[in-house]
Chain A
Amino acid sequence: EDKVVQSPLSLVVHEGDTVTLNCSYEVTNFRSLLWYKQEKKAPTFLFMLTSSGIEKKSGRLSSILDKKELSSILNITATQTGDSAIYLCAVEMYNFNKFYFGSGTKLNVKP
Chain B
Amino acid sequence: DTEVTQTPKHLVMGMTNKKSLKCEQHMGHRAMYWYKQKAKKPPELMFVYSYEKLSINESVPSRFSPECPNSSLLNLHLHALQPEDSALYLCASSQDRGQQYQPQHFGDGTRLSIL
A residues in contact (CB < 8 Å) with B: 31-32, 34, 36, 41-45, 48, 50, 88, 90, 95-104
Contacts of B50 in A (CB 8 A): 97
A-B contact pairs, 18 of them (CB 8 A): A34-B103, A36-B106, A41-B108, A42-B109, A45-B104, A48-B101, A48-B102, A88-B43, A95-B97, A96-B56, A96-B97, A97-B56, A97-B94, A97-B97, A98-B48, A99-B104, A103-B41, A103-B42
Contact, CB under 8 Å: B106 / A44 = yes
Q: How far is the CB of B71 from chain A (nearest CB, A)?
A: 14
B residues in contact (CB < 8 Å) with A: 2, 4, 31, 33, 41-45, 48, 50, 55-56, 90, 94, 97, 101-109
Contacts of B31 in A (CB 8 A): 97
Give complex CA distance A47, B103 in Å: 8
Q: How far is the CB of B50 from chain A (nearest CB, A)?
A: 5
User: Which 7 A-B pairs give the minimum distances between C-beta atoms?
Assistant: A101-B42, A42-B106, A41-B108, A97-B31, A97-B48, A45-B103, A48-B103
Give complex CA distance A48, B31 in Å: 17
Would A102 and B42 be within 8 Å (CB), given that A42-B2, A96-B56, A97-B55 are in contact?
A: yes
Contact, CB under 8 Å: B101 / A32 = yes
Give complex CA distance A33, B30 in Å: 20
Give complex CA distance A26, B102 in Å: 21
Q: How far is the CB of B54 from chain A (nearest CB, A)?
A: 11
Give complex CA distance A95, B109 in Å: 26
